[in-house]
Amino acid sequence: MKTNMPLTKPIRKVISDTERLLDTELTLLRKPDAAPGGTLIDVYTYNIDKNIIIFPANYIGLLKDFVIAKQCTHLLVKGAAAKKSGYRVLSYNENSVSTGLRQIYLDALKDEAKKEKKLPVKKLIEMLFILFRQFHEDINELPWNPIVNARIYTRMEQLRKTQLYILLKDGKQDMDEMMDMMDIVPRRYFVLDKSMFYARDLYLAKTLPSDKLMPVINIPQMKKFDHLEVKEMLTTRWTQTAWYQSKVFGDAMLTIMEKHLNVDWGADISLDYYASLYDVGVNLTNALLSYMTMKDWFIWEKPQHLLAAEQQAAVYEKAALKRIFGDLIEDSLV
């Protein structure tokens, strides 16, 4: 790595280990408009010849170091998988999109039947693929989050306070997503979305460990469940709320996470170790998809397949809607 940026010795070692194991050279770039969590542009995903980590220009010190450490860990998992067993990501095709949209539509109909104020047909149809893409994005990212963070926490003690700060901020932001659509999105999918993040944060709270990461402490909507009496929690008042249901599903997802994330986070670095972390992430992803009955929505393919699918997303959506509604749907609605 060639850079004039001031870097601490620990983060230089992380970079050096990454370059050595993957036989590559990392490029670090500062950009004012970079994503807060940084961006990894790697040779295993894109048709490029170098690995690039991009982070916000205003990030300095340990904040910058944490983003670099996180992206290096992601890169090691991807690279080890590519070199050992083959790197795959969750993608989709016309058939899987049709399966997902059909199930979302059927669940939406059940919700709409209970509402006095019905959702306009056009808005309902538009929502189907938006929800599909939302879950695709989350499930392609969420299982790897606890893996990367648990590894960094164990390996780099000096980053722990910065890590905690970022995780608290990210947790609240993830819970705030879709809030403006709470009355529109079918209850099942709002609950499942929040359950995934609840389970992730609860796992991290136990693993890091830090009570501050507990969802019932740092997530405003979840605070009501902290020290709630069992008798009160079992009343209709609580059991009918989306947040209580998110907690119930989230507790079940936590059990799934703990079963699969039975890992020695402090193990010595090696390609075999990071390849094993990739396998853990794949198995956890499959388990969560099975629990949410979404295993037929997505397919494991090479990254290039997903890049092509993203280009064809509008085509897949239109074809899926035609399969579901046939001639009943107007072209203007797709």
Kindly report, residue by residue over 261-308, the tens digit of the pLDDT: 999 999 999 999 999 999 999 999 999 999 999 999 999 999 999 999
| Average pLDDT of span 304-315 | 96
- Cβ atoms 150, 261 nearer than 8 A: yes
Contact 27, 39 (CB under 8 A): no
**How confident is the model over 185-190, as a mean pLDDT?**
90
DSSP string computed for 306-329: HHHHHHTHHHHHHHHHHHHHGGGS
Q: pLDDT value at position 235?
A: 60
3 has pLDDT over 90 = no
Concatenated DSSP letters of 232-291: HHTSHHHHTSHHHHHHHHHHHHHHHHHHH----TTPPP-HHHHHHHHHHHHHHHHHHHHH
Task: Give the range among 2-6, 277-281, 319-323 with minimum mean pLDDT.
Answer: 2-6
Q: How many CB atoms lie within 10 A of CB 180?
A: 9
How far the first Cα of the chain sits from its last, in Å, is 48
Taking the C-alpha atoms of residue 136 and residue 104, their distance in angstroms, rounded to an integer, is 13
What's the sign of the alpha-carbon dihedral 191, 194, 196, 201? negative
Q: Give strand pairing partners of 52.
A: 27, 41
Region 309-321: mean pLDDT is 96
Q: Where are the domains of the chain?
A: 9-82, 89-333
**Is pLDDT of 33 > 80?**
yes
**Under 8 Å CB-to-CB from 157, ≥6 apart: which residues?**
none
Tens digits of per-residue pLDDT, 195-237? 999 999 999 999 998 888 888 777 777 776 666 655 555 565 5
Read off the pLDDT band of 8 (50, 70, 90).
confident
How far is the C-alpha of 201 from the C-alpha of 246, rounded, in Å?
Answer: 13
What digits encode the pLDDT tens for the residues 98-135?
Answer: 999 999 999 999 888 877 777 888 888 999 999 999 99
246-249-252 Cα angle (round to 5): 145
Give residue 321's pLDDT: 94
Confidence of residue 238 (pLDDT cuts 50, 70, 90): low
Instruction: Please identify which residue in the block is written with the tokens 């992803």.
Output: 285
Residue 163 has pLDDT above 80, yes or no: yes
Lookup result for tokens 């986070």: 265
CB contact set of 257 (below 8 Å; sequence gap of 6+): 146, 199, 200, 203, 284
pLDDT at residue 334 tops 60: no
Q: What's the confidence (pLDDT) of residue 78? A: 97
pLDDT at residue 17 greater than cutoff 80:
yes
Q: How many residues does the chain have?
A: 334
Q: Which amino acid is present at 191?
A: V
pLDDT value for 174: 86
pLDDT at residue number 328: 67
Is residue 260 very low, low, confident or very high in pLDDT (cuts 50, 70, 90)? very high
Which comes out higher in pLDDT, residue 7 or 262? Answer: 262
Backbone angles phi, psi at 243, to 5 degrees: -75, -35
**Distance (Å, whole) CA 191 – CA 266:** 34
Q: Which two tokens stand for residue 221?
A: 């909507």
Q: Is the peptide bond before 209 cis (omega within 30 degrees of 0)?
A: yes
Q: Return phi, psi of residue 10, to 5°.
A: -60, -40
pLDDT digits (tens, 9 = 90+) for 43-87: 999 989 899 999 999 998 999 999 999 999 999 999 999 999 899
Task: Give 176's pLDDT tier (boundaries 50, 70, 90).
Answer: confident
Distance (Å, rounded) from C-alpha 209 to C-alpha 315? 45
Say what the pTM is: 0.91
Higher pLDDT, 90 or 113: 90
Q: Which amino acid is at 120?
A: P
- Quick one: 318 exposed, middle or buried, by C-beta within 10 A (0-12, 13-18, 19+)? middle
Element (DSSP H or E) covering residue 105:
helix 94-114
